[in-house]
Amino acid sequence: MQSLLLASALIGLGLYGALTRRDLIAVLASIEVMLGGAQLLLAAYAAVTAAPSIAQGVNLVVLAVGASEAAIGLALVVVLVRRGRRRTEDIEEVRG
Amino acid sequence: MSVTLLWWALAALTLTGAVSVLLSREMTRLLLALGAFLLGVAGLYAYYGFELLAVAEVFVYVGGVLVLFLFAITALGRDSSGRSIERRLDLGAAAVSAGLAAALALAMRVVLPATTAATGVTVEKTADALLGPLLPHFEAVGVLLLVALVAALAIVGGGEE
């Protein structure tokens, strides 16, 4: 139960940071906290399953997906900051 | 297995790191807090019996993603306006976040009633899982990492034009 409460609290804290922080890098860091909470929940659940090795494999896959997300997110932040848009309120349009 | 003092220490490190990420006004402190958070998460993985996952977390996140954050901050420099990172209190966002956390805890309480450590998890069994039932996922992640790398280069390269 403690693991569940910890993971839920981390996801809640990360979501609050992602919603309220205005600096883009701080928003990205908050999303990492959220992802960490979700992975922790997955690991705690994996520990009580009948096949923890498979669950560990799934968690490794999620870890790689999180690393990809961080790489692309930081690339977007670098481009936006170079264009003078460092804060969330500076981003008003999305163009393909 | 009851929750030990080690679990509480790791949980405290993780929570302190997460709260500090939320409250830090200086970018360097934010990164240090994120590092503490990630180390705490890696420690908890090891506590649950997933040593390989803990090592991967340290290598990929603390050694990779955190350094990527550091490179980005170093390359971008400080905010030209000289302002520190703003933090604000938003009751709506707090209510949504607390509601989501509470809903998650309520929904999962049946399937995750106790904190316990896994037994019999070895690197060999994990490798068998990755190259057996999880092979499609493993291959897909390889492609995803390659696409992410190319996409990141294309985004940064396109932004320079």
Q: Summarize pLDDT for A3-47 with one digit per residue, the tens.
A: 888 889 999 999 998 888 888 888 888 999 999 999 888 888 877
Say what the pTM is.
Answer: 0.84
A-facing residues of B in 11-70 (CB < 8 A) are: 11, 14-15, 18-19, 21-22, 24, 27, 30-31, 34, 37-38, 41, 44-45, 48-50, 52-53, 56-57, 60-61, 64-65, 68-69
Span A45-69, average pLDDT: 81
- H helical segments located in chain A: 2-20, 24-48, 52-82
Number of structural domains in chain B? 1
Residue in the block written with tokens 């996409």 = B151
Q: Which residues contact A65 (CB under 8 A, 6 or more apart)?
A: B141, B144
Q: Cα angle vertex B142, ends B76, A72, to 5°?
A: 20
Q: Is B135 in CB contact (< 8 Å) with chain A?
A: no
Query: How many C-alpha atoms does B50 have within 13 Å on its Cβ side?
Result: 33
Whether B148 has a pLDDT exceeding 70, the answer reads yes
Burial class (CB within 10 angstroms; exposed 0-12, middle 13-18, buried 19+) of B157:
exposed
CB contact under 8 A, B145 and A15: no
Whole-angstrom Cα distance, residue A79 to residue A59? Answer: 30
Residue A83: its pLDDT value, please? 78
Q: Over pLDDT 70: what percentage of chain A? A: 94
Give the distance from residue A21's alpha carbon to the nearest chain B alpha carbon, in angstroms. Answer: 6
Q: Domain of B99?
A: 2-80+91-119
CA distance B111 to A58: 18
Q: pLDDT tens-digit profile of B56-92?
A: 889 888 888 888 888 888 877 666 555 556 666 778 8
Which of residues 12 through 71 in chain A touch B, CB cutoff 8 A?
12-17, 19-23, 25-26, 28-30, 32-33, 36-37, 39-41, 43-48, 51-61, 63-71
State pLDDT tens for residues B89-120: 778 888 888 888 888 888 877 776 666 776 77
Is the CB of residue B131 less than 8 Å away from at least one CB of chain A?
Answer: no
Q: What percent of chain A has pLDDT over 90?
A: 15
What is the percent of chain B with per-residue pLDDT over 90, rounded to a whole number?
Answer: 12
Q: Give the pLDDT band (50/70/90) at residue B38.
A: very high
Nearest to B68 among A19, A64, A70 (CB): A70
CATH number at residue B10: 1.20.120.1200
Specify if B126 maps to a domain. no
What local confidence, expressed as pLDDT, does residue B87 receive? 63
| A91 in reach of chain B (CB within 8 A) | no
Q: Is B102 inside any structural domain? A: yes
Confidence of residue B14 (pLDDT cuts 50, 70, 90): very high
Determine the pLDDT at residue A34: 92
Check residue B128 and give its pLDDT. 80
Mean pLDDT of chain B: 81
| pLDDT tops 90 at residue A1 | no
Domain assignment of residue B11, yes or no: yes
Instruction: Decide if B105 and A78 are in contact by the 8 Å CB cutoff.
Output: no
Is residue B137 included in any domain, yes or no?
Answer: no
User: In chain B, which residue's Cα lies nearest the Cα of A9?
Assistant: B101
Lowest mean pLDDT among B24-38, B98-112, B141-155: B98-112
